[in-house]
Amino acid sequence: MSKTFLITGVSTGLGRAVARRALAAGHQVAGTVRTEQHAADFRALDPERARAFVLDLTDADRIEPTARAAEAELGPIDVLVANAGYGLEGTFEESSMDDLRRQFEVNVFGTVATIKAVLPGMRERRDGQIFVITSMGGHTTFPGLAFYEGSKHALEGITDTLAQEVAQFGVRVTAVAPGAFKTDWAGRSLVRAPRSIADYDALFDPIRTRRQALAGQGIGDPDRAGDAILSLLDEENPPVHLLLGSDALRLVTAGRRRVQEDFDAWQDLTLSTDSVEGGVTVA
């Protein structure tokens, strides 16, 4: 059965791949892009079933009207793929507060506003599916990506809570966390904070050099990621959290193991803070 998709960020990368796969499967796709040239390019994929809308996710006042415009052309949104976002690379100390604000404006606030634009209709229809593209960096961390990973950790937490709240309405929600894919994420799309503190050279310079050298060479195949996401359509109980890629599975598993080791090693100190008089817990 054909569905209507809204996919943010369809110019390149995973968003583009999911859109291509959805169109090939006979679905209708409304995609958001940053420029009119990208809009024309996207519409050319399938003039009958592809619609493009120019949208900057930092322009919060335009997000809901864009969703309404998409529905006016294609009908109610059945599936949202909240994909648009970007990476910021830089050590914590060298990255500015403006860097942090913009990272969250796009990756978190823009994504949340997009979900809010389609959720009421899904709730009222008692049906819908939302995919939030996060990152393996939403589960584990790597030096030089503190603000980016913070934004993706935020999305993972928001998505998990949202899934619990809207399951009763037949709305299924999945946070999709890709590893490194053959996209431009680490190339031209990655914003790099300027270096200014020599103390970080030994740690960070090799990391930045390696990221630049490996841009576009990740193990993940964007088209196969698109197929994986589409395979969850109409799944009665899709995962709330889905990793994509063998590197994501390996690195997130290792990161979670390190966190659990801290919890286990300091369990006595953790338990020492309970009131001797007892009390209630939140759950």
Contact 88, 105 (CB under 8 A): no
Give the tokens for residue 227.
Answer: 């197929």
pLDDT of residue 112 exceeding 90:
yes
Which pLDDT value is given to residue 283?
A: 82
Which pLDDT value is given to residue 193?
A: 97
How would residue 185 be classed by pLDDT, with cut points 50, 70 and 90? confident
Model pLDDT for residues 252-261, shown as the tens digit of each residue: 999 999 999 9
Average pLDDT over residues 24-31: 99
Which pLDDT value is given to residue 61?
A: 96
Burial level of 191, CB count in 10 A (0-12/13-18/19+)?
A: middle
How would residue 140 be classed by pLDDT, with cut points 50, 70 and 90? very high
pTM for this entry: 0.95
How would residue 187 be classed by pLDDT, with cut points 50, 70 and 90? confident
Which pLDDT value is given to residue 80?
A: 99
pLDDT of residue 192 exceeding 80:
yes
* Active site amino acids: 148
pLDDT of residue 111 exceeding 90:
yes
How far, in Å, CA of 122 to CA of 173, rounded?
11
How would residue 1 be classed by pLDDT, with cut points 50, 70 and 90? confident
Average pLDDT score over the chain: 97
Which pLDDT value is given to residue 281?
A: 87
Cα first-last separation, the chain? 41
Average pLDDT over residues 204-221: 90
Which pLDDT value is given to residue 74?
A: 98
Q: Which domains are present in the chain?
A: 4-249 (3.40.50.720)
How would residue 85 be classed by pLDDT, with cut points 50, 70 and 90? very high
pLDDT of residue 220 exceeding 90:
yes
Higher pLDDT, 184 or 124: 124
Give the tokens for residue 283.
Answer: 């759950």
Percent of the chain with pLDDT over 70: 100
Least confident of 79-93, 130-144, 146-160, 173-187: 173-187
Which pLDDT value is given to residue 164?
A: 99
